[in-house]
Chains A and B, each alone.
Chain A
Amino acid sequence: MFILFISLAIFMEDYKPKILVLSTMYISDLAVDLAGLQHKEYPPTTTIIRLPCSSMFRPEYALIALENGFDGVFIAADGTDCPFREDCTQLTARRVEEAMKLLKEHGYEPERIKMAAICSVCVKPFIRLINEFYERLRKLGPVKRR
């Protein structure tokens, strides 16, 4: 029992959440680029997929991500800098709410989705928020897949 506890603790110590980052081609992806350019480090267990605009996020994407190996989804949204629309934040937020509901229905914690507006030079906020999200996922532990 004791050994089991220790091994569980070691396992948790080693647990590195995998994050799907959805960035946007004209705004937040530039910040993620800039983070790399400045050699600012953040958890490497992140896969970045570019969308034209964060309002393109479809709730099922989060479900597919969690069902197949990611532990969380970070939506680096356009915010008020969106080149397409002024209501980008509200529209994306609505999709995120739907996605949270969808995750709940399938037995996943809705906290596994995070949306944040990342402007094209928002390197510091990006690094801070992705690290915070990483810590949140560490606390939640690995996704319990069926």
Chain B
Amino acid sequence: MSREKKRIGVYVCHCGGNISNYVDINRIIEAIKEYPGVVVAKDFMFMCSDAGQQMIIDDIKEEKLDGVVVAACSPKLHEMTFRNAVKRGGLNEYLFYHVNIREHCSWAHMHDRELATMKAISHIISGIEHVKLASALEKISVKAERSVLIIGGGIAGLRAAVDLATMGFNVVIVEKSPFVGGNVAKWWKVFPSGEEGEDIVMELIDEVKRSKNITIITNAEVESVEGFVGNFDVSIKIKPRYVLRDHPKMREAIEICPIEVPNEYDFGLTKRKAIYYPPYKAFYPEIPAIDDKACNRCGKCVEIVGDAIDLSQKEEIFKVRVGAIIVATGFKPYEPRKGEFGYGESPYILTLPQLERILSTIPKDSEKLIINGREISKICFIYCVGSRQQPKGGGKVNEYCSRYCCTSTIFTSLKIADRFPNIKIYHLYRDIRTYGSYELFYLEAQRRKMIFIKYPDDSPPTVSITDEKLLVKVKDFAARGKELIIKPDLIVLAVGMEPNDAEKIQEILKISIGSDGFLREAHPKLRPVDTLRAGVFIAGTIQGPKTISETLASASSAAAKAVSLLVRGRVELEPTTAYVDPNKCNLSKKCMEVCPSGAISVKSYPGIGERAWVNEILCLGCGACTAVCPSEAIQLKTLSTHQIKNMIREAAKIWVR
């Protein structure tokens, strides 16, 4: 069909004022309604609404449209919405082009209506030119593996694994440390229900053990991921654990180990041996691990347990093909700088996670809270440490709120007050964000006469230490900045969350990171556990700070999304692939030199001879080949060089009118 003969409908969205307040919609309609090929030019308050979509569907039928352009928000939000509408109207979805006039136009140029309008027109004209040369395409259907890789064996990974296994899918969990269980296993009593963290994790581990189709690989990291949705080829590097199986004398073997290093499972508060178990009950597998870096290969443990330990074990590479990937690498607590609120300068200045570790090990019958030999009668909590930091200098700061800390700190203080009613508790906060029903914990804390002091945003409390005695100076915002002095026995810093391994995951999976450093979802509202890479999902706190309940909800939702993608055993891929016109190809082979996936080879075409040929299952759709072909014989199906040239040429002309 020639370029001028297509009947194109153009729809301009007001976005309820988000667009129409900053660009002149009437002028846009005037400018495009006479444009060659355009038979319908309409504007509407919300094109994405049912009424807006119905307008497109009706026009396709009544006006016999064979091309549709919608000028609205970013295609990342509603390209799929309109594609589906076009499909419902009976038109091939690839005869549609989504033009961005909100993020790219009205929102970026709010103070220049004239030029923002011109820019919108140039965008729409290029969209019309795209559709003029667009051809109807079918998606590529390929077989998909009914299995899922989960990166991270914390509560999010375990929850997703159990859900997937229940639905009959095979699951591989890859955990970097030697034990699954994650952060939650370390916590004392967690809100809102008050059970201990290890009990929650234990329940999940029991469920995992009952499932037949879950494989857990610990002490391992994903090294590379190749392929695409439905068929990811994953290469996993497994570090030696050295301990092969359990042994009745294993505790003795640990006892005899001469090496001691700070215990990361206790946030450095205690020491552990080079061969060790985590210091709590919720972990799996139930055999110890030997820390490769700490062990000096003295062999004392081997003398006791014999061949249950093999110090000659080597690193292994394990390869597996999966249909989808769920990233659940979680968070790590913010580690305060040395000296930040006195951190690291006194054994009586702890972070909230450190306090949780201490509380979970105090004997059930102790009547006093004794920490590092000191009886604690006055605790001072300082909020927003490592969260909501104000940018200064050029260094990276955590500008976000970590969401869990207000509730967690107040809840922990209530549980301390339950056990040790005589301890006096101070809360130095910036704003209390105990959202939803967690507000009741805040009210309860106030009812129990805990002291809440709001400090000004720009003037946090200061901590000084003299002879192990702590002194906190805080400005009371409610008393116009009057300085108060507190002499607590213990200072606890409510530290925020930071993403765990986000950059590494980004590098391996090529998914995007937000400006806060956490992995970014495809859409915060519409696709909250998807990423922009098809078949890769995110669950839990790697996406951003979350509570335990929120983490488990997102894990179950990621599992359900993975199932809905793979359940039919086939996936549909976008036909954004390259193809060769054998009549134009002069076999320069330049395309083969630049193809990143080896998708192009030489094939014999009947009656034409040897020419280049694209294997569309391997083609990634980058288009690099189309930039080097001397005869423009190789083209992307969804965006040809002719389309691009026309789009540029016609958009350029708008600016010289």
A contact residues vs B (CB 8 Å cutoff): 16, 18, 20, 26-27, 30, 32-37, 39-42, 44-53, 55-58, 60-61, 64-65, 67-70, 81-85, 87, 91, 95, 120-121, 123
Whether B115 contacts A55 by the Cβ 8 Å rule is no
B112 at the interface (CB under 8 A from A): yes
B510 at the interface (CB under 8 A from A): yes
Residue from A33, A51, A68, A84 within 8 A of B652 (CB atoms): A68
List residues of B (61-103) whose CB comes within 8 Å of A's CBs: 74-76, 100, 102-103
B219 at the interface (CB under 8 A from A): no
Q: What is the CA–CA distance of A18 and B624 in the complex, to the nearest angstrom? A: 26
Could you list some 28 contacts between A and B, CB below 8 A? A18-B655, A33-B74, A33-B103, A34-B103, A36-B104, A36-B105, A41-B110, A45-B118, A47-B126, A49-B651, A52-B576, A52-B639, A53-B622, A56-B624, A58-B626, A60-B645, A61-B648, A64-B648, A64-B649, A65-B648, A69-B656, A81-B510, A83-B510, A87-B596, A120-B512, A120-B513, A121-B513, A121-B514
B434 at the interface (CB under 8 A from A): no
Q: What is the CA–CA distance of A48 and B624 in the complex, to the nearest angstrom? A: 19
Contacts of A20 in B (CB 8 A): 648, 651-652
Contact string against A for B residues 390-405, beta-carbon threshold 8 Å, 1 for contact and 0 otherwise: 0000000000000000
Residue from A36, A47, A85 within 8 A of B108 (CB atoms): A36
Q: What is the CA–CA distance of A72 and B12 in the complex, to the nearest angstrom? A: 28
Q: What is the CA–CA distance of A33 and B639 in the complex, to the nearest angstrom? A: 21
Specify the chain A residue showing the minimal Cβ separation from B624: A55
B568 at the interface (CB under 8 A from A): no
Whether B654 contacts A44 by the Cβ 8 Å rule is no
B515 at the interface (CB under 8 A from A): yes
Whether A48 contacts B655 by the Cβ 8 Å rule is no
Contacts of B272 in A (CB 8 A): none
B119 at the interface (CB under 8 A from A): yes
Residue from B105, B116, B123, B636 within 8 A of A52 (CB atoms): B636
Specify the chain B residue showing the minimal Cβ separation from A26: B532
- Starting from the known contacts A26-B532, A69-B652, 7 additional A-B residue pairs (CB-CB under 8 Å) come to A36-B102, A36-B108, A39-B107, A42-B108, A45-B115, A52-B636, A70-B652
Whether B624 contacts A32 by the Cβ 8 Å rule is no
Whether B651 contacts A52 by the Cβ 8 Å rule is no
Q: How far is the CB of B182 from chain A (nearest CB, A)?
A: 27
Q: How far is the CB of A63 from chain B (nearest CB, A)?
A: 10
B contact residues vs A (CB 8 Å cutoff): 74-76, 100, 102-112, 115-116, 118-119, 122-123, 126, 506, 510, 512-515, 520, 532-533, 576, 594, 596, 620-624, 626-628, 636, 639, 641, 644-645, 647-649, 651-656
Whether A18 contacts B652 by the Cβ 8 Å rule is yes
Whether B119 contacts A85 by the Cβ 8 Å rule is no
Q: What is the CA–CA distance of A16 and B656 in the complex, to the nearest angstrom? A: 11
Whether B107 contacts A53 by the Cβ 8 Å rule is no
Whether B119 contacts A61 by the Cβ 8 Å rule is no
With A52-B639, A121-B515 known as contacts, the answer to whether A30 contacts B626 (CB < 8 A) is no
Contacts of A65 in B (CB 8 A): 648, 652
Q: How far is the CB of B308 from chain A (nearest CB, A)?
A: 44
Q: What is the CA–CA distance of A27 and B176 in the complex, to the nearest angstrom? A: 28
With A37-B103, A41-B109 known as contacts, the answer to whether A55 contacts B594 (CB < 8 A) is yes
Whether B627 contacts A58 by the Cβ 8 Å rule is yes
Whether B652 contacts A52 by the Cβ 8 Å rule is no
Whether A32 contacts B123 by the Cβ 8 Å rule is no
Q: How far is the CB of B124 from chain A (nearest CB, A)?
A: 10
Whether B594 contacts A91 by the Cβ 8 Å rule is yes
Residue from B100, B118, B512, B644 within 8 A of A44 (CB atoms): B118
Whether B655 contacts A56 by the Cβ 8 Å rule is no
Specify the chain B residue showing the minimal Cβ separation from A66: B652
Whether B512 contacts A30 by the Cβ 8 Å rule is yes
* Of listed A30, A37, A46, A95, residue having the most chain B CB within 10 A: A46
Q: What is the CA–CA distance of A127 and B512 in the complex, to the nearest angstrom? A: 20
Specify the chain B residue showing the minimal Cβ separation from A120: B512
